[in-house]
Structure 1
């Protein structure tokens, strides 16, 4: 009887042990499945974020190319361009440039600024190195003292053969006179801009930096 009771207890203990092991194994499997699910969820999130990052990078690089395209667009302010700026100012330094004939190109021999190298002080002509919208201005001093030529200054700003604007001044025996004009004009590459006397066959043109010729490329087209 006693031996049978011991055997029964051993069998019961063995059953409880087997049952606890199955429960433990079930819990471990459940926890493992939960962890695997969370890992799969995280992997999905990472993949989604990678796709978002890749899309953002493509957008950034696309915008960067668009900015480069804007910067190098043909129509723009020249200060934002690698081609410019183009600007010049020249003046007549001597007290008087005497005996200037009719239809003669006025030569501003003293160069103050010549960015882009378009102005030639030997000929008095500015040749546009770039196409675009330009501003040109001219200020001329009429000189009269009876030695260097007659009074009544009449000149014009010329683009190739086209008159853009005119300058007039009329000195007398005691006073010199000043005339000026400014124009904005579209210019093609290679166009020639210069100042030309009109109808005075013996003009005395005042200097001392009073007479100047300037131009500036505002926007390349």
Structure 2
């Protein structure tokens, strides 16, 4: 732009005859000054337009960066909420006591008394935990019962349709209980629950002897 303006001025000034003296040189034609004023005004407007464009570009870049950071913050908040997964529940809810079994087939235990359910991954209507995020989880379960010569106390942890570990105890009299724990890698949507072992019994009361609990150790 500077070269173009200088060249234009040089052409305009070059129209004045060089052989005439300064004193006898006639006044410059009025159209030269008009052209200079137009060029000057154009330069001023061009600078103003450039500043405006720069400001608009900077504003657009700033908005893009702000939107990007907002999206990242929202994603981090969502990930943090998903990673908070923990539950603890017992079989019996309310006063009195509960005796379950013996039953001829494995039966899913539905733990009605929910002490903690952060992330709402445990369903107290079905007794099933559903993994909300891929990760490593820890589970523990305890089954209690009154001693019986004919029936033991046993509960198996199930991942999807696979029996993982069995907590089992058998004694003739008195209160008995058995506990197990396991760490599992779960995919999103995997289900984990506890089944009462066939022909066994479970007992619970307001002291909460028969329990199921788990939590996310870390996502993968």
TM over 0.5: yes
TM-superposed deviation, 1:144: 4.4
CA distance in 2, matches of 1:184, 1:104: 23
Match runs of 1:21-40 below 5 Å: none
**What's the Cα RMSD here?**
2.6
TM-superposed deviation, 1:163: 2.0
| Residue aligning to 1:118 | 121
Unaligned runs of 5+ in 1: 1-64, 73-77
TM-superposed deviation, 1:108: 1.0
Match of 1:83, SS?
Answer: helix
CA distance in 2, matches of 1:100, 1:159: 23
- Number of aligned residue pairs: give it: 143
Q: Which has the larger radius of gyration?
A: 1
Match of 1:177, SS?
Answer: strand
In 2 relative to 1, CA 100–121 (structure 1 residues): closer, same or farther, beyond 3 Å? farther
Unaligned runs of 5+ in 2: 1-68
Ranges of 4+ aligned residues in structure 1 off by more than 6 Å: none
Alignment partner of 1:129 is 2:132: yes
1:155·1:197 contact (CA, 8 Å) conserved in 2? yes
CA distance in 1, matches of 2:81, 2:136: 17
In 2 relative to 1, CA 164–198 (structure 1 residues): closer, same or farther, beyond 3 Å? same
CA distance in 1, matches of 2:142, 2:83: 25
TM-superposed deviation, 1:165: 1.2
TM-superposed deviation, 1:82: 3.8
Alignment partner of 1:169 is 2:169: yes
